[in-house]
Amino acid sequence: MFQIRNYRHQRYLTVVLHLLVWAIIFNLPMLSTGNAPHTMKDYFRSWVPPVAFALVFYANYFYLIPRLLFNKRTWQFFVSNAILYAITIALLEEVKTIMIPIPGPHAPHVLEVVVRFIIAFSMATGVSVAIRITGEWFRSEDIRKDLEKEHLKSELVNLKNQLNPHFFFNTLNTIYGLIVQNQEVAQDAVHRLSKLMRYHLYDSNERYVPLRKEIEFMVHYIDLMKLRITSNVSVQYKFPDVTHDIMVAPLLFIPLIENSFKHGVHLNKPSEIVMTLEVIHQKQIVFYIRNTSFPKKENDQSGSGIGLENLKKRLSLLYPERYTFVAEENGAYFDCTLTIHV
């Protein structure tokens, strides 16, 4: 609805601007000399050239440019304009004969008049082309931005759908086992899982969310993942308690956390995951994650599947030229650093 109202507003504004410009052009002779026409015939005679210019302008604006020029029928466009000029000049000469039946002693030669009108009509056509192309460019930019917004929405929906569904089932199974072993821990896990699912389903629908909520989601996710890993896995994280009401795109860091649990945990070998998030001068968010590297086999289809490349695409749409992302193998470890300028 907002887009429709905005389009109508732009259309009305365009009409008003056109009327204002032509009102000035039609009255330009009187405004420039300061002398009002003596008779109605003189008044309408001064309107004849502007009417001809308007005819050429709008014939191009509404028909020739969109039908021919924009469809790359360039020669037809120029030929059609030549015909339009000829017809308009002929009509002008006919009107001139009616309004000024007897030429004055210093009347210009017909060829001179024709050349003047061709130059004036060419300028009118050029202005029409410039305005129409500019309008099309703005329209295409609006469409591109709308498509980007839709793409961002689909990317977020895709991310939410691809956020490892096995995580929820496995966590429920873990909680089921904890009910017998430790009811207090099981209750806490259910509470964390409910908060995580509420944020995942509802709060993350917003374009931006408070950073503190995103951190809370990450903490719940990590603590629930820790319930399922063995004692040979060390998981440490350090997130700020104060975030200064900074807003951030939702579910932005979770692919990196998922990736660390997917590739950084081994069933039998010692494993390590370290995560830190810093807010620098309330202008930058720096998320660093380091994990042991145990690459999956090619036939292993486990994990979220969102991938680091999809994260980069989402970042380029959400924070164009306002982020840096570095991911590299460092011996037996894999390091990722994501910096966002908010």
Q: pLDDT tens-digit profile of 199-244?
A: 877 777 787 899 999 999 999 889 888 888 888 999 999 999 888 8
Query: pLDDT at residue 341 above 70?
Result: yes
| Residue 95 host element (H or E) | helix 74-99
Token pair belonging to 250: 């939702």
Give dist(CA 310, CA 337) in Å, integer.
16
From the number of C-beta atoms within 10 Å of its C-beta (0-12, 13-18, 19+), residue 57 rates as buried
Are residues 170 and 228 in contact, defined by beta-carbon separation less than 8 angstroms? yes
Helix axes 254-264, 211-226, angle to 10 degrees: 20
Are residues 297 and 305 in contact, defined by beta-carbon separation less than 8 angstroms? no
Q: Could you give the domains of the chain?
A: 2-152 (no CATH), 163-341 (3.30.565.10)
Are residues 341 and 315 in contact, defined by beta-carbon separation less than 8 angstroms? no
From the number of C-beta atoms within 10 Å of its C-beta (0-12, 13-18, 19+), residue 30 rates as middle
For 245, phi then psi, to 5°, come to 60, 30
Tell me the residue type at 28. Answer: L
Query: Averaged over 285-313, what is the pLDDT?
Result: 73
Q: Strands 284-292, 333-341: parallel, antiparallel or unpaired by DSSP? A: antiparallel
| Residues 6 or more apart in contact with residue 116 via CB below 8 angstroms | 108
Tell me the residue type at 63. Answer: Y
Are residues 279 and 285 in contact, defined by beta-carbon separation less than 8 angstroms? yes
Give dist(CA 171, CA 224) in Å, integer.
7
297 or 327, which is more confident = 327
Q: Tens digit of pLDDT for each residue in 141-196?
A: 777 777 777 776 676 666 556 555 666 777 788 888 788 778 888 888 888 888 88
